[in-house]
């Protein structure tokens, strides 16, 4: 008794279609690619008939080799566990499919070495373009940028130079957060953020501080704390602990991301600090779960659902050979 499974049957090739239709592969290829003016109506119909009955589907590998371009796009993203990253991946995947592409997803864990490994692997794979979510500085990235490979940066700008960007105006988002606190009468809000901040979180904090300064609150009046770490949940918890370790809970607390807000919330819960009564927490991302699980959290909504089509639009500009401009999507503060 043999436990081996049957070998999986091979797909139909152009040659088989050609043989069955009594024409050359060239003719079939042209029909498949819609060049109807290169075959008589009857021949075309016959070929289509055979294609239908044989169930022929073009082999993308052969096509990619010959055309020297595939229909695969690589997305490199740090930790997919972050709901914001998952949202970006989901919307980009959908937009790519609509445009006739498929997406290879690579989780870089925010590590430059992994990012490099993936960039190399994707180039070998002959991908048509790259979507780099929160890219980090790395050797192969510099190489790809230098070569002029089609890359779109999402969330975080190109760390090794200029390059097409899709995201929000983080600086203004921070400023809006300041305005929100101000309109609530909160004059001494605090802010927490990750230690090894990217341009993203740095911009948010900078916009916040600057706007507060503009409203008349000196920079050194704004309490702030940061913490290292990979998970923003942990970072939020730790940074909040550091912050309130040196004083009371602030009446308003801006967190650089929703996940950080969750971390801070947990500390508040442990310390029996009532949210939002004792401390208004503000996050950024507007995670879809907030409406269900975190009604206490006001957050800056980032339209991740819209990112996908914008990313594809940028890629298509690059493929045309043009130079795209940064695409800053509108954010808005949603209070619950």
Partner DNA sequence: ACAATTTAGGCAAACGTTTGCCAAACTCTC
Partner DNA sequence: GAGAGTTTGGCAAACGTTTGCCTAAATTGT
CB of 163 to DNA, least distance (A): 26
Residues in Cβ contact with 152 at an 8 Å cutoff, skipping those fewer than 6 apart:
129, 130, 131, 132, 163, 164, 165, 166, 311, 314, 315, 318, 324
Interface residues with its own copies (CB under 8 A) are 3-9, 11, 57-62, 64-65, 70, 72, 79-81, 83, 86-87, 89-90, 93-94, 97, 102-107, 120-126, 147-150, 233, 262-263, 265-266, 269, 288-289, 291-295, 318, 321-323
Q: Candidates 24-32, 127-135, 168-176, 223-231 — which segment interacts with DNA by CB under 7 A?
A: 24-32
Please pick, from the candidates 65, 98, 291, 293, the single residue that binds DNA as defined by CB under 7 A. 65
Of 183 and 323, CB closest to its own copies: 323
Q: Is 71 in the site for DNA (CB under 7 A)?
A: no
Residues in region 279-298 near DNA by CB under 7 A: none
Round to whole Å and give the CA distance between 77 and 154. Answer: 9
Residues in Cβ contact with 329 at an 8 Å cutoff, skipping those fewer than 6 apart:
166, 167, 168, 302, 303, 306, 307, 310
Task: Please choose which of its own copies, DNA, none residue 269 contacts, taking the beta carbon within 5 to 8 angstroms, the exact cut-off set by kind.
Answer: its own copies
Extract the tokens encoding 205. 């904090």
Of 70 and 91, CB closest to DNA: 70
3-class state of residue 280 by DSSP: strand
Round to whole Å and give the CA distance between 302 and 168. Answer: 7
Q: Is 72 in the site for DNA (CB under 7 A)?
A: no
Of 210 and 305, CB closest to its own copies: 305
Of 43 and 125, CB closest to its own copies: 125
Q: Is 45 in the site for DNA (CB under 7 A)?
A: no
Comparing CA positions, the residue from 96, 16, 104, 8 lying closest to residue 56 is 16
Of 57 and 332, CB closest to DNA: 57
CA 293 vs CA 270, 287, 288: distances in Å? 17, 10, 9
Of 124 and 246, CB closest to DNA: 124
Round to whole Å and give the CA distance between 73 and 185. Answer: 48
Strand duo 332-334 + 297-301: pairing: antiparallel
Extract the tokens encoding 36. 């109807």
Q: Is 24 in the site for DNA (CB under 7 A)?
A: yes
CB of 144 to DNA, least distance (A): 18
Residues in Cβ contact with 127 at an 8 Å cutoff, skipping those fewer than 6 apart:
70, 72, 73, 74, 104
Q: Candidates 62-70, 173-181, 250-258, 306-314 — which segment interacts with DNA by CB under 7 A?
A: 62-70
CB of 64 to DNA, least distance (A): 8
Round to whole Å and give the CA distance between 47 and 241. Answer: 71
Q: Is 61 in the site for DNA (CB under 7 A)?
A: yes
Residues in region 1-20 near DNA by CB under 7 A: 10-11, 13-15
Residues in Cβ contact with 273 at an 8 Å cutoff, skipping those fewer than 6 apart:
249, 267, 279
Half-sphere exposure of 212 (CA within 13 A, CB side): 27
Task: Please choose which of DNA, its own copies, none residue 83 contacts, taking the beta carbon within 5 to 8 angstroms, the exact cut-off set by kind.
Answer: its own copies
Please pick, from the candidates 3, 4, 68, 320, the single residue that binds DNA as defined by CB under 7 A. 68
Interface residues with DNA (CB under 7 A) are: 10-11, 13-15, 22-27, 29-30, 32-33, 37-41, 43-44, 56-59, 61-63, 65-68
């Amino acid at each position: 008794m043999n436990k081996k499974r049957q070998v999986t049957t091979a797909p139909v090739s152009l040659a088989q279609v050609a043989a069955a239709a009594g024409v050359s592969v060239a003719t079939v290829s042209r029909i498949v690619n819609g060049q109807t003016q290169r075959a008589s109506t009857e021949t075309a119909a016959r070929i289509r008939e055979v294609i239908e009955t044989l169930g022929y589907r073009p082999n993308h590998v052969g096509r990619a080799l010959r055309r020297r371009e595939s229909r695969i796009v690589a997305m490199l993203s740090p930790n997919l566990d972050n709901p914001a990253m998952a949202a970006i991946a989901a919307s980009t995947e959908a937009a790519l499919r609509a445009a006739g592409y498929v997406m290879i997803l690579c989780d870089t864990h925010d590590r430059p070495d992994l990012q490099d490994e993936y960039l190399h692997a994707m180039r070998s794979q002959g991908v048509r373009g790259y979507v780099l979510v929160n890219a980090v500085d790395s050797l192969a990235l510099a190489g790809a940028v230098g070569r002029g490979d089609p890359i779109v940066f999402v969330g975080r700008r190109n760390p090794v130079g200029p390059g097409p960007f899709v995201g929000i105006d983080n600086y203004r988002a921070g400023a809006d957060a300041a305005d929100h606190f101000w309109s609530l009468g909160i004059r001494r809000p605090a802010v927490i953020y990750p230690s090894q901040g990217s341009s993203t979180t740095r911009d948010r904090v900078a916009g916040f501080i600057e706007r507060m300064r503009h409203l008349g609150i000196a920079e050194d009046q704004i309490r702030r704390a940061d913490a290292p770490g990979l998970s923003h949940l942990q970072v939020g918890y730790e940074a909040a602990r550091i912050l309130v370790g040196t004083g009371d809970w602030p009446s308003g607390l801006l967190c650089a991301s929703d996940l950080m807000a969750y971390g801070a919330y947990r500390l508040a819960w442990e310390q029996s600090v009532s949210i939002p009564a004792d401390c208004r927490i503000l996050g950024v991302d507007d995670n879809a779960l907030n409406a269900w699980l975190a009604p206490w959290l006001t957050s800056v909504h980032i339209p991740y659902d819209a990112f996908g089509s914008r990313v594809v639009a940028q890629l298509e500009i690059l493929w045309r050979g043009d130079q795209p401009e940064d695409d800053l999507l509108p954010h808005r503060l949603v209070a619950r």
